């Protein structure tokens, strides 16, 4: 959902503070979980191009973590 949705951050920035806080808290909890970070590459296709997007995906997750 996060990787394939370029408009997600823009959509969430215009939502209620409650929803932003909920998403930010949920993403923060995921990013604090070492098992999630270890498994993250497995959520993408195994080809080189898909795996190269890990940095972009992490950047998007960090932005979601900072929503307020």
pLDDT tens digits, one per residue of 56-68: 999 999 999 999 8
- 17/47 Cα distance (integer angstroms): 38
The 10s digit of each residue's pLDDT in 3-50 is 878 899 999 999 999 999 999 999 999 999 999 999 999 999 999 999
Domain count, the chain: 1
Q: Which domain holds residue 34?
A: 8-63
Nearest alpha carbon to residue 60 among 30, 19, 38: 30
**Domain-located, residue 54:** yes
Distance in angstroms (rounded) separating the CA atoms of residues 45 and 52: 10
Asked if residue 3 belongs to a domain, the reply is: no
Q: Is position 36 within any domain?
A: yes
Residue 1 is assigned to a structural domain of this protein:
no
């Amino acid at each position: 959902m996060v990787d394939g949705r370029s408009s997600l951050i823009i959509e969430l920035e215009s939502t209620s503070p409650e929803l932003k806080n909920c998403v930010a808290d949920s993403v923060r909890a995921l990013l604090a979980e070492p098992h999630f970070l270890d498994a993250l590459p497995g959520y993408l296709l195994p080809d080189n191009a898909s795996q190269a997007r890990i940095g972009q995906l992490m950047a998007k997750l960090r932005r979601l973590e900072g929503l307020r």
